[in-house]
Amino acid sequence: MSSREASTCFAVLSLGEADMRKNFIDNLRWMDVIWLIPYHAAQAFNTWGEGNYIFFGGNRVLSSFIVFFSPFFMPLLFLLAGISTRYALAKRSCFQYFAERVKRLLIPFLFGTLVFCPILAYIGDKTNCGYSGSFAEHYVIFFTKWTDLSGFDGGFSVGQFWFLYFLFVISLVSLGIIVLVRRIAKKESGDHDIPFPLICLPVIVLPFLYDLLSVGGKSFAEYLFIFLLGYYLISDEKVMEKAEKYRYVTLAIALIAGIADVYMFLWSGKDFGIVNTIAKALEEWFMMLALIGIGKLSLDFRGEFTDYMSQRSFPYFSLHFLWIVLFQYWFADLFEKNIVLLYIVPVILSYIVTFICAEICLRIPLLRFLMGAGKKAQKKDV
């Protein structure tokens, strides 16, 4: 691209506004990420036969926790990323945005896949397939054994870092869409007074996307759609105001749908098919609207603690799953059938050790860079 085209790209993307950043977006992000440890720890007890690096047998209470949070847990991060992209492109050229995506997403993805995922796959091979060799020998196996890409059998996988490569690809695809739309429209559209019922309509689309462009059971189409909704819809100030106004309505709908989803999927003993899928979609969209509304009202502030948590969210994300699996593996024989201790002790220790390791990583410039943490005082735009 020529320098003239580069200037045009910047002009097309620039909103000509000051920093539009909302502190509640950062706070919602780290609050969402902080739940990764109990969420992933519970996967070792799922009742529907999903593989894991270590499995202790099904428990419906812990499985209910997974089923309730799963519809909106990760989608919320993509929605927030879409909103943040609107603000980021108000200040950055497309080249700067792309470079930041490489630094904040692609590099941590590659680092995590090369360093952390082989350890997880090694434990998966030992617990699920009876592997008895050394880790050094298994490191080669990790890159040569290609099966279902889960890593639970010791084969190659990207573990929790699927989120980073999904977000990297979706960010670039969305950037192309945004540039194209801006060039066609010639100018940036402002805020619109969209009726609340229209803000609810995306829930109709979601059920059709769950199996579209699916990789490893996760839909590129669903997350791209949610990312673009964050950019084009939720970032609108008037839409945020409506999300705040109707926060109790959307929260009530989400809670009812989520409880129904859990009941139908885990406790009813029946297959509700499309009804279960509709309940999942209702919980997903309305819970995200509720959290945006609650966040705008109650979480739009910044302080030492929120800065501390935001700064550590990236290394926390990279490190947390490793420590969960390690502690569950180490305590498996000690606690045997005691599900309470087998769940709670690894969760508590994982929180402690993950934050200690995150603190260490943030003090080492190379590790900060490899984990996408950015400069010490830099705010996040993911």
Regarding beta strands 218-219 and 214-215, do their DSSP bridges make them parallel or antiparallel, or are they unpaired?
Answer: antiparallel
**21 compared with 219, residue with greater pLDDT:** 219
Question: Does the structure show a pLDDT above 80 at 326?
Answer: yes
Q: Once rounded to an integer, what is the mean pLDDT over residues 301-309?
A: 93
Question: Does the structure show a pLDDT above 60 at 277?
Answer: yes
Question: Does the structure show a pLDDT above 60 at 382?
Answer: no
**Which alpha helices (DSSP H) does 186-273 contain, by range?**
196-200, 202-205, 220-229, 237-245, 247-262
DSSP string computed for 321-355: HHHHHHHHHHHHHHHTT-HHHHHHHHHHHHHHHHH
Does residue 33 lie in a domain region? Answer: yes
Q: Once rounded to an integer, what is the mean pLDDT over residues 358-365?
A: 94
Question: Does the structure show a pLDDT above 60 at 16?
Answer: no
Q: Report the number of distinct structural domains present in the chain.
A: 1
Question: Does the structure show a pLDDT above 60 at 4?
Answer: no
Distances, alpha carbon 177 to alpha carbons 167, 194, 221, 225, in Å: 15, 22, 14, 12
pLDDT digits (tens, 9 = 90+) for 183-212: 888 766 666 789 999 999 999 999 999 999
Does residue 9 lie in a domain region? Answer: no
Does residue 251 lie in a domain region? Answer: yes
Q: What is the pLDDT of residue 6?
A: 43
Give the rounded percent of residues in the chain with a pLDDT score beyond 70: 91
Q: Once rounded to an integer, what is the mean pLDDT over residues 344-360?
A: 97
Does residue 215 lie in a domain region? Answer: yes
Q: What is the pLDDT of residue 376?
A: 59
Q: What is the pLDDT of residue 215?
A: 86
pTM: 0.91
* Amino acid residing at 260: A
Q: What is the pLDDT of residue 167?
A: 97
Please give the mean pLDDT across all residues of the chain: 90
pLDDT digits (tens, 9 = 90+) for 233-251: 999 999 999 999 999 999 9
Does residue 291 lie in a domain region? Answer: yes
Give the rounded percent of residues in the chain with a pLDDT score beyond 90: 82
* Assigned token pair, 382: 């993911």
CA distance 353 to 135: 22
DSSP string computed for 99-143: HHHIIIIIHHHHHHHHHTHHHHHHHHHHHHH---S-HHHHHHHHH
Does residue 379 lie in a domain region? Answer: no
Does residue 112 lie in a domain region? Answer: yes
pLDDT digits (tens, 9 = 90+) for 366-379: 999 999 886 654 44
* Boundaries of domain holding 239: 17-370
Question: Does the structure show a pLDDT above 70 at 270?
Answer: yes
Does residue 375 lie in a domain region? Answer: no
- Where residue 53 falls among pLDDT bands split at 50, 70, 90? very high
How many helices (H) and strands (E) the chain has is answered by 19, 2
* Assigned token pair, 156: 């190659």
Q: Once rounded to an integer, what is the mean pLDDT over residues 314-331?
A: 96
Half-sphere exposure in the Cβ direction for 360 (13 Å, CA)? 7
* Assigned token pair, 137: 């020998």
CA distance 349 to 66: 20
SS3 at position 145 = coil
Q: What is the pLDDT of residue 142?
A: 95
CA distance 290 to 253: 9
Question: Does the structure show a pLDDT above 70 at 88?
Answer: yes
Which of 16, 173, 185, 163 has its CA nearest to residue 98?
A: 173
Phi, psi for 158 (deg, rounded to 5): -110, 5
Q: Once rounded to an integer, what is the mean pLDDT over residues 290-302?
A: 96
Question: Does the structure show a pLDDT above 80 at 272?
Answer: yes
* Longest Cα–Cα distance in the chain: 67
CB atoms within 10 A of CB 213: 12
